[in-house]
Amino acid sequence: MSRQRLWLTSLALLAALWSVVAVVMHETDDRVAWPGKVQELVENAPWLAGEKLSDEKRRGYLARVITNYQRLDVGQRKSLREDAQESLDKFFESLTDEEKKEYVNRTIQPLFEVIDRGLKVMPVEDRKRLIGRMRGDMKNLRGGNAEGDRLAEQDRKFMEDLMAEDPLLFLRDASVKQKLELAPVLEDMQSRVQGLRR
């Protein structure tokens, strides 16, 4: 009889523990992000299914996507791009010009600031090495692009601008689409800059 009671008590404690875990997970769901959650948000944007939303609701949904994207670390963002690039592109193209600008300003612009601060305090040799690596990453990113010749010229101009007094001048003046295309390179460079500063 005592053995049966022990099992029942253990079972009751496990059930209570899992209930607490379920409640905590439910309560923190809005504060935690992972690539699958962001992918689900961009794929299920109401306007992609033809639903008409007020500007306020649309901005709210976009803010939710951006907030969850910002919570991802560099590895999770890379994973998201690898698994859902088509969905991300479709979502981005569905945005108005104003929404695209908001998306880029809140997801990519902060990368510029971190990189800029890091490059300014970095020794010249480390800075040159990082910028050279960034250029190589850009070439790899754009290598399969049909606009390769034109982009190669842009890369040369980009490097000249990077070596100028303000290394992120080109990026600040780049179009919204160019900034979005360069997000993977910027995220990688941000992690490198932060790694060298430590």
Hey, what amino acid is at 88? Answer: L
Residues 174 and 192 in one domain: yes
End residue of a domain, out of 87, 107, 127:
107
Please check the confidence at residue 140 and state whether its pLDDT lies above 80.
no
Q: Are 103 and 28 members of one domain?
A: yes
Gap between the Cα atoms of 110 and 31, Å rounded: 20
pLDDT-derived band at 27, boundaries 50, 70, 90: low
Output the pLDDT for position 161: 56
Provide the mean pLDDT of the chain: 80
Task: Give the pLDDT score at 155.
Answer: 59
Q: State whether 143 and 198 are in the same domain.
A: yes
**Better-predicted residue by pLDDT, 28 or 6:** 6
Q: Is residue 14 part of a domain?
A: no
- Is the predicted pLDDT of residue 147 greater than 60, yes or no? no
The pTM for the full model equals 0.71
CA dihedral sign of residues 116, 118, 121, 125: negative
Last residue of a domain, one of 62, 84, 107: 107
What was the pLDDT predicted at 162?
A: 53
Residue 187 placed within a domain: yes
User: What does the DSSP assignment read for the chain?
Assistant: -HHHHHHHHHHHHHHHHHHHHHHHHHHHGGG---HHHHHHHHHT-GGGGT----HHHHHHHHHHHHHHHHTS-HHHHHHHHHHHHHHHHHHHHTS-HHHHHHHHHHHTHHHHHHHHHHHHHS-HHHHHHHHHHHHHHHHHHHTT-TTHHHHHHHHHHHHHHHHSSSTTHHHHHS-HHHHHHTHHHHHHHHHHHHHHH-
Domain that holds residue 39: 19-107
CA distances from 144 to 134, 151, 159 (A): 17, 11, 20
Q: How confident is the model at residue 114 (pLDDT cuts 50, 70, 90)?
A: confident
What is the count of structural domains for the chain?
A: 2
Burial status of residue 164 (CB atoms within 10 A of its CB: 0-12, 13-18, 19 or more) = exposed
Confirm whether 63 is domain-assigned: yes
Give the end of a domain, one of 60, 77, 107.
Answer: 107
76 and 32 in one domain? yes
Give the mean pLDDT of 138-156: 56
